[in-house]
Amino acid sequence: MDQPPDVIIGANGFIGSHLYHYLKNKGRNVIGTTHDASIQHASLAYLDLCNPDKSFLEATPAIGNVYCCAGVGVIDECKRNPEKTAQINVHGLLEVLLNMQKKGGKPVYFSGNMVFPGTKSDYTEEDTPKPITEYGKQKLLVEQAIQEQFKQFVIVRLTKVYGMTRGDKSLFTSWLDAWEGGGVVKSVTDITIAPVYVGDVIETVTELTSQEESGIWHLPGTTSGTVFDFSEKLAHYFHIAPALLIPSVQSEFHWLERRPVFNTLGSTKMPLVNRKQFTVEQAFEQLRAQYPSFEQTFN
């Protein structure tokens, strides 16, 4: 019997695109969606969570895993437009998931540390969520609905996810892009993070789904520190002039919502998944090849 296709909601996004190509390279049958109607991509179906049209699945009798990678991830945008963003992040997504449930779809939801208040470090799966941002509240609403409506599900809470592809606008590449253009980077000293590589996220999540596991898992990075700590390490590695990195604090950015101080997670369950994660130092080595313009600084 043919394996039912997996669905990736938001297959053109940061995590979704990595997941899409990973599963395709593994020979999986995958249906990817995008909310961007301007994308001319024959392999991606159009799906707008503001007004979901599920007709693209009418000819699909059964569905496997449904990876939820779409949504509004800008914290201040969720605060500025809570109803509009909740339609995408919560109501529209759940409408699609419940529709796919009729065909056997199992939700795989990417949540995050924002479901916690961030008053301490290393929240585990046993800690009680209590979000302080609108974005975190929306994440928690989806978590709760999935647990109530589905018997089988995977919820993975992530910390800050980074990539190693030039121009992907993730944590380290955004800083390198700025420095390459002669810009100054301001990074905060009062927010602690534990960055995790997107490749580790993809491999761990697909391992969980292949084992037919069900529940909530935390996937933190291997090292924690302030945002400034990581920018300083990167600047030191690439021999960036000290004047191009300025320490700052949250209040200087005039955000609509104050961010949690601790954006780290611990886990009592993830060690059961036997994987060795990429380190930040290894990431820097990989990034060196992506940014040859800095090569002269290594000579």
Kindly state the average pLDDT of the residues 128-150: 98
Q: DSSP assignment, residue 81?
A: S
pLDDT of res. 38: 77
Number of H helices, E strands in the chain: 9, 14
Split at pLDDT 50, 70, 90, the class of 276 is confident
The answer to whether residues 184 and 246 touch, using CB atoms and an 8 Å cutoff, is yes
Task: Read off the pTM.
Answer: 0.95
Kindly state the average pLDDT of the residues 227-234: 98
Alpha-carbon Rg for the chain, nearest whole angstrom, is 19
| Angle, helices 93-101/134-149, rounded to nearest 10 degrees | 10
Kindly state the average pLDDT of the residues 248-257: 96
Sheet of 215-219: strands edge to edge? 44-46, 30-34, 6-9, 65-68, 106-112, 154-158, 215-219
Q: Give the model confidence (pLDDT) of 19-43 as tens digits.
A: 999 999 999 999 999 998 777 566 7
Residue 270 has pLDDT above 80, yes or no: no
Residue 272 has pLDDT above 60, yes or no: no
Kindly state the average pLDDT of the residues 284-294: 93
Cβ neighbour number for residue 157 with a 10 Å cutoff: 24
pLDDT of res. 15: 98
6-163+195-221+265-277 has which CATH code? 3.40.50.720
Task: List 6's β-bridge partners, or say none.
Answer: 30
Split at pLDDT 50, 70, 90, the class of 274 is low
Q: Give the model confidence (pLDDT) of 40-83 as tens digits.
A: 566 799 999 999 987 878 878 999 999 999 999 999 999 999 99
Distance of alpha carbon 20 from alpha carbon 11, whole angstroms: 6
SS3 78: helix
The answer to whether residues 248 and 184 touch, using CB atoms and an 8 Å cutoff, is no
Q: Among 28-32, 115-119, 189-193, 210-214, which is the least confidently predicted range?
A: 210-214
User: Pick from 169, 171, 297: which is nearest to 239 by CA?
Assistant: 297
The answer to whether residues 16 and 9 touch, using CB atoms and an 8 Å cutoff, is yes
Mean pLDDT score across all residues of the chain: 93
What b/e sequence results for 112-134 when a residue is b if at least 16 CB atoms lie within 10 Å of its CB, and e otherwise? bbbbbbbeebebebeeebebbbb
Split at pLDDT 50, 70, 90, the class of 3 is confident
The answer to whether residues 175 and 234 touch, using CB atoms and an 8 Å cutoff, is yes
The answer to whether residues 57 and 106 touch, using CB atoms and an 8 Å cutoff, is no
Distance of alpha carbon 4 from alpha carbon 61, whole angstroms: 8
